[in-house]
Structure formats: structure tokens, C-alpha cells
């Protein structure tokens, strides 16, 4: 999935209003999913992770499914508001070498961040992978996952176009990055190996 979704630092924000309390619960859900997976994420465990009562969770989310769906959406929304922008190609003259090279580097950086093995990214990747797997049996979460994937494809296509490459290659590159990210998460590939595979694909784009 989109690399910018992966960075999760495990910090539960203070609860000062209803929206903040829902977000605090979402953070506790992420911490629980990271440790126990979706199947092991119960309201009781989420309550313990967030130092809140089960009753407080049920006040905002009558069911476990609603809690999980909100938390998945919150992860995507947080990424949209906190991740660094890929860059504004319009800052360089259209078609200039600076713009073309910058856009191409941004594609590599955007997709390559999926392989980051630092603790915040690894925890976030585990949570996102669990949501993606759960989307097979939950249509609501599937909608969120598809929207996030489509958004990343659109951004990569935009950057490819600015770099003078075929935007139609975006879907292939995103799918490849997703697969490589999963393999680095399981230990089947090192970060360096994943980056090499991505560079090979980019060289053919």
C-alpha cells in the first residue's frame, strides 16, 4: 500500500472532544492490531491499549466492526494530512530538466518509502497489511483500501507524466511496490534488495 500510510509512532493523542476521542480510540486500535492482528483486536484489548473503558469505546462504536472500519479510514485520513507532499512540479518551468528529474526522483522516493524498516514504518506497515487482508471479508474496509490505492496510483501517474514517462505504468509500479513492501515486512527481502527491484522496474518504465 501507499508508503505514506506506514509511519505510525504509537502515540495516543489527548481526548478533548468527540472527534479527538474517536481518533484516540483509533490509535489504540492500531496499537492492538500491530500486536495481536485483526482477529485478536477486541474492545477489551483496545481499551487497555488506550487506557480507556470498554464503555467509552461502545459509546462511540456500538460494534467491533464499526470500530475497525473507522480506524482504517482514520489511518488513511491521517496519512493525507500529515505526510509530506510529493512535491510541486509547477515550481519549475514546464518541461525543464529540473522538473523532469525532480518528478522522477519523487516517484522513486514515494514508492521506496514502503521498504523503510525503521520501527514507526514497520509498525504502520503491519497495521495496514492487516487491514488490507481483512478487506477481503469486509466490504466497507475494502472501499477504503481501494480508494487509498487509487489515490496513490493517481499521484504516481501524475509524477510519471511530469517526468516524461507513460502514466499508464503507475498501476504496475504501485502493485510492484506493494508486493515488495510485503516481502520486506515478512523478511523475505531486505530493504536493499527491494530497492534494487524497484530501480529495475523504474529503469524499464
In this prediction the pTM is 0.81
List of residues 6+ apart from 88 with CB closer than 8 A? none
Q: What is the structure's pLDDT at 94? A: 42
Question: What distances in angstroms separate CA 173 from CA 9, 140, 204, one per listed residue?
Answer: 27, 26, 10
Give me the pLDDT at residue 5, please. 58
- What is the pLDDT at residue 114? 84
pLDDT-flagged residues of the chain (< 70): 1-16, 82-101
Give residues with Cβ within 8 angstroms of 39, minimum separation 6.
none
- In the chain the domains, ranked by start, together with CATH numbers, are 3-83+93-204 (1.10.357.10)
The pLDDT, as a whole number, for residue 101 is 54
pLDDT value, residue 147: 94
The pLDDT score that the predictor gives to residue 83 is 53
pLDDT score, position 8: 55
Element (H, E) at 58: helix 54-60
Amino acid at each position: 500500500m501507499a508508503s505514506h500510510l506506514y509511519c505510525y509512532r504509537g502515540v495516543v493523542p489527548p481526548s478533548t472532544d468527540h472527534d479527538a476521542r474517536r481518533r484516540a480510540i483509533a490509535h489504540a486500535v492500531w496499537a492492538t492490531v500491530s500486536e495481536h492482528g485483526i482477529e485478536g483486536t477486541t474492545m477489551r484489548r483496545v481499551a487497555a491499549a488506550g487506557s480507556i473503558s470498554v464503555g467509552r469505546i461502545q459509546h462511540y462504536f456500538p460494534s467491533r466492526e464499526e470500530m475497525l472500519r473507522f480506524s482504517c479510514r482514520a489511518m488513511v485520513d491521517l496519512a493525507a494530512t500529515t505526510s509530506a507532499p510529493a512535491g510541486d512540479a509547477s515550481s519549475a518551468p514546464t518541461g525543464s530538466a529540473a522538473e523532469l528529474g525532480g518528478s522522477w526522483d519523487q516517484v522513486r522516493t514515494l514508492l521506496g518509502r514502503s521498504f523503510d524498516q525503521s520501527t514507526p514504518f514497520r509498525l504502520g506497515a503491519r497495521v495496514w497489511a492487516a487491514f488490507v487482508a481483512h478487506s477481503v471479508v469486509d466490504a466497507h474496509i475494502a472501499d477504503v483500501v481501494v480508494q487509498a490505492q487509487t489515490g496513490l496510483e493517481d499521484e504516481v501517474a501524475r509524477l510519471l507524466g511530469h517526468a516524461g514517462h507513460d502514466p499508464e505504468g503507475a498501476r504496475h509500479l504501485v502493485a510492484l511496490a506493494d508486493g515488495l513492501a510485503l516481502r520486506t515486512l515478512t523478511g523475505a527481502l531486505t530493504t536493499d534488495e527491494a530497492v534494487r527491484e524497484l530501480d529495475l522496474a523504474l529503469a524499464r518504465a
